[in-house]
Every structure is written in C-alpha cells, then in structure tokens.
A and B are shown apart, each in its own frame.
Chain A
C-alpha cells in the first residue's frame, strides 16, 4: 500500500516536471521574442526626436488579401523607412473573419486589424477588444462617420466605395451604344442593344453570393440614409412589405431577370469568370462598386467605364456610398504608439486605397483613379449606407437570414410571383424577434 502511494506520487512529480519543462520552454521563447522586438533604448534617445522615439518596436497587421504579397512588403518597407525604429509585419489571412474571431477571443489578435459585425457581433464588445482612436483626430474629416460607441471612436473605414455599373467602352461601341445611360429607359435600351448583339447584357455573379450585396444597396437609392429602414424594420413583425425599400429594390432586380437581361443559367454565374470576360466583350455590364475597377483583369484601363445605375427616369445620378473595411487597434497592443502611427500611415500614406481602387477615407485626399475621378466629377447624389444597428444584426443572425441569399432565391424563382418568398422571410423574422 505504502509502495503504491509512493509510486503514484512519483508519477505525479514526474508529470509535473514534464509539464513545467514545457512551460519553461514557452516563457523563454516569449522573452526571446520581446527582446528581439524591442530595440535598445539608448539608440532611440540619441537619434530621434522625443515625439517619434515612442514609435518603435514590432507590430503586426492582419489583412484579408492573400494574393498581393509583393505589394504588402512594399507597404511594410515604406513604413519602416518612415519610422526606422519601428517595423510592421503584414500578415495575409484567408478566411479572415473566422480566423480573427478566434484570435481575438484567445488574446492572439494582431496589433492592427479589420473589424466587422461578424468578428464582433455587437457594438458593446468594442471597448472590450479595441482601443479608442479619438486622439488620431479624424472626427469630421471623413466621408463616413466614425464607428462610435458611448462617445468614443473606435474605427474609421480604410476607404470608401461607391456603387456603379462597370463596362467596357469597346463593347458598348460595338453594340452601338454611344453614351453611358442616364435614365432607366436608356438603361433598358442599352441592355436591349447588347442582347441583340448576342452579348450577355448584365452579369449577375449569383453563384459568388457576395457581389449581390451591391444590389442590396439599390434599396437606399430613394432614401436619405440607410438607418431609417433598419430602425423601422426592427420594430415590425412583418417588415418585408410592399413599402419596404429592400423589397422594392429586389423587385427592381427581379424585373431585370424577367426581361431576360441576366444569364439563362444564373447558378453558374461566377465573378471570377465574368471579370475576365469583360476584356473579351462577352459581358456588357456588371453592377458593383469601385473595387471592381482594379479587378477587371485583362481590360485595358482606358477602356474601363463606370457610371451610376439609373434606377428611374429622373436623370439625376445617384450612387450609394458604403464603407470599406473598418480598421481598429487591438486594445492589448504592446506598442500602442507604433500601432497608432501605422494606423495613420495605412489610412493616409500607404497608397493601398489607390491600389485597390477605393476612394480614400479622408475628404481632403483625392483618388488617383481615372474612371473613378470621372465618376465623381459628374457629381452624383450620394446616399450613405452605414452598418446596421445591433438589433437588426441580432435578428438576422438568429433567423439566419442574409440579404444576398434572399436575392438569390428571388432571382432563381421560377415565375415573377415572389410574394411567397417574402412571406417565408416575414415568418422567420417574426420568430426571431420573439
């Protein structure tokens, strides 16, 4: 008996020593890292002015683009050049939202990162994870309001998107369309001409799902801003009625389907194929935002055109302005000053906005993208589409509704009677509101 208890004691001691060996290894690793990332203090004091001497050390920034490694290295080098004692590691991540959510919850988040309603589902989580950016003083300088919670600003979007129709000027010329349509009738006439020429008039990108989010914004074309609709919807049990802007917007799209301006086989319509077909003139128009300008592979830049979607016959151009990714700083960042310097750098100096065809976030910065500059020079009426309130997201999440999925269903419906679909979603909505 005594022997047995001794043996189990020994076993415990042995296992503990093994465990502590693992632990010991870990801590030495950590300290090694922090030593490497903090440059010696005396050089900082000697060579730099006090204000920039704070900006040193290594920070990380997680980005969702995994296809532009060269460019990312360029940005990191540019930052290092500006702040020689600081260094940024730009980490490309596939499946961005899922990965960042886990890393945030397990305290492994990068110093600077993107944020949206999938990563932090409610705004009251912001103070728990993100650092306020009030001292960067962006209030009032941006196109779109900052993301604020209880009087503190947490994020600014890295750039701004405006919705519009992308086309190839050569394709339009070949189909006998002289100018970009300005009214709904002109749009239909142009689509008809393309169809007569055997060109696919409008690419739906239905299979890819996310591009349908652009059609969602058509809902707001006749409103002043998006939040009025959301506020109204969260207080109703059957929000998808004929007065709802979303229902009206989706009916607009269904109408184009009925007129035969989209693919016959909508389920095969894929963004990755369509963006290349733009160059060969197989597709006439794609309704997207300005990010599409940088993504039309193979189409020469001077041939790319971009005009606001005419939704009625008033002739007044209207475009919906939506935020790009919201950039935030991790509250637990060890190099807060460096993170803030990088934040400022990314928004104002990196040049990433021009590279991706975005409009820079700040009003006094100009876009260097030619078709975009032309688009804005025409002075379209701009409707801002802001992220919906928490309550709206909560209902969507609980009922597992996403607007692109509803639109897929509406576009694929066999006939133009789409009321049963709305009835179904009204019921889901009502169940989730309980």
Chain B
C-alpha cells in the first residue's frame, strides 16, 4: 500500500472529524429551515400528502391582519423585563466573583432554576400565584398588605409582567454564570494598578469591569432580544389552548395554535420565517444602537 502524503492524511482526518457535526447541522438545522421556507409557500394542513403551492398568499394574510403584529406588544414587555434580568445577573456576578464566604453555594442556588424544567416552573408558579389559594397572596393578606395582592395570572394588565418575571427567575442564573466566566478572565493586576492610582470600587467597576465585559454584554443583549421575540414556554404551558381574550399570547404561541389547532401549517411557517427575519433585523439594529459607535 502506497504511503499517503501528509496533505492527504490531513484531509482525511479533517473530513472524518467534520462529517458528523456537519451532517447533524444539516439534518437538524438547515434541512428544517429549508422545509419551513418551502412550506410557507403552500397551504399544507400538516398531514395530507399533497401540498398545494399558493405563492405569497400566506405572507399577504399575515400582513393584512393587524392581530398578528399587535401581539408583539406582549413580547415588548418580555424585552424590557429582560433588562432587569441583565442588571440583576451583572450585579450578582460581580458580588459572587469577589472573595465572599460561601460564594459557590450562592452561585449554585442562583443557577439552579435554570436546570428545572419549564413545565415544572410554570406549574409551581401557578400554585404560588393563584389569586385565592396561592402562597403569595395569602402571605400578603396575613401581614396586612392586602392592597398589594393581585390576580397575578388572570389580570390582563399584569399577566405578561408575571410571565416575564418567571422567565427572569429561570434565566438569571444562566446569564450570571456567563458573566462570571468573563469576569474571571480580567487580569487582576489591572485592578491592583487602579487601586494604587487611587480608584475606588465604583470607578474600578465603571472603567475596568464594564469595558472588559463589552463582548459578553453584547451576547446577553442578543439573548434577551431573541428570548423576548420567541417567548412562548410559560404562556403555552399555562394556557395550552390560547389565553382568554388573548391576554398572554405571544407571537410564537400564536404560531403554534395556527399550526396545531387550526391545521394551517402554511400560514404558521410563513409566521416562522417572518419571525426569523424580524429577529435578524432587530438584532442588527440593537447592536448598532448600543455598540455601533465604538465598533472598530
């Protein structure tokens, strides 16, 4: 057998390592995305073997009915509450990165909600926040703050904040861990030099920590926007067949109902494609707004 050249060996090894991840990527990401786009031009009902092409009809239907876009006002709430989440995770990350006693335990406690299944979290909060028998309102009543007790999960004005808070509770720890990772990569001697120059704690945070976290904050902002646009898990688990008056529906729960309840997979695919496009546009816009000026 002929001896293979070094180049050949490299190529074979390269391909044999790459082929599996590439196949997985193709099968589970690009092929479904491609089918999504194809289906969005048909009137497929989700089950029959015939898919009839209808051109741009589905897109026209989405754009001609304001109800599909009005729903983004709910997603907007998730977006703003998301900034509270970023702030909290930054705060906890900075605290738990210092030499605090028992910081590993605190980190684990704050991270643990992320591991809990969303369905379990939703059920837990529906019991906790029930307006009559829920622990929160009962406690508020007992300590004389009855005026603060509310219909957390049934008042159309409040419910989206409640749901957004639930996702904050779940994802805050995850974001904190990302930020802690970035904090640990900041060399300590910069802080030492700054303290020799007489910088106080806040100045060190403002002029050393924050600029060093720029990249990672960018990621957090991206995750927040993406999560807000595609928010669906909690409203979907709590109201599987759509919420009364649509009070907590989001764009994605609407897409799910369109496909699985109303058997309109063509329209739902068009909504999916549009969501993808909207996400790309908004992510680019946000990036330019927050970080554009000092981009190299």
Contacts and interface: CB of A to CB of B under 8 A. Distances in A.
Q: Verify that A and B bind, or say they do not.
A: yes
Interface of A: 3, 6-7, 10-11, 14-15, 18-19, 95, 97-98, 101, 104-105, 118-122, 125, 128-129, 206-207, 209-210, 265, 267-268, 273, 396-398, 400, 402, 404-405, 408-409, 412
Contacts of A122: 45, 48
B183 to A, nearest CB: 41
B16 interface: yes
Given A128-B49, A265-B131, A3 B8 contact: yes
Nearest to A100: B47
Nearest 8 A/B pairs, CB to CB = A267-B154, A121-B263, A11-B15, A397-B262, A268-B154, A98-B260, A7-B11, A408-B244
Nearest to A125: B48
A209 B245 CA distance: 11
Contacts of B15: 10-11, 14-15
Contacts of B20: 18
A265 B151 contact: yes
Given A18-B20, A97-B260, A210 B241 contact: yes
Given A7-B8, A267-B156, A404-B241, 5 more contacts: A14-B12, A18-B16, A97-B260, A101-B47, A128-B49
B11 A11 contact: yes
Contacts of A129: 47
A209 B242 contact: yes
A404 B240 CA distance: 13
A405 B242 contact: yes
Contact of A267 (B5, B16, B155, B260): B155
A106 B177 CA distance: 40
Contacts, number: 100
Contacts of B263: 118, 121, 397
A19 B20 CA distance: 9
A105 B46 contact: yes
A242 B261 CA distance: 28
Interface in B224-254: 239-242, 244-245, 247
B262 to A, nearest CB: 4
Contacts of A3: 5, 7-8
A412 B246 CA distance: 12
B227 to A, nearest CB: 22
Interface residues of B, number: 38
B212 interface: no
B242 A14 contact: no
A209 B11 contact: no
Contacts of A118: 260-261, 263
Nearest to B156: A267
Contacts of B257: 400
Contact of B245 (A14, A119, A400, A409): A409
Nearest to A212: B244
A18 B8 contact: no
A398 B264 contact: yes
A207 B257 CA distance: 17
B264 A397 contact: yes
Contact of A10 (B5, B12, B130, B155): B12
Contacts of B154: 207, 265, 267-268
A239 B74 CA distance: 32
B109 interface: no
A273 B130 contact: yes
B62 to A, nearest CB: 12
B245 A412 contact: yes
14 contacts: A7-B8, A11-B11, A11-B19, A14-B12, A119-B47, A122-B45, A122-B48, A209-B239, A209-B244, A265-B154, A267-B156, A268-B130, A405-B244, A409-B245
Contacts of B8: 3, 6-7, 10
B258 interface: yes
A345 to B, nearest CB: 28
A15 B12 CA distance: 10
Nearest to B49: A128
A397 to B, nearest CB: 4
The listed residue with most A CB atoms (<10 A of its CB), out of B133, B244, B261, is: B244
Contacts of A412: 244-245
Contacts of B156: 267
Nearest to B131: A268
B245 A408 contact: yes
Interface in B179-236: none
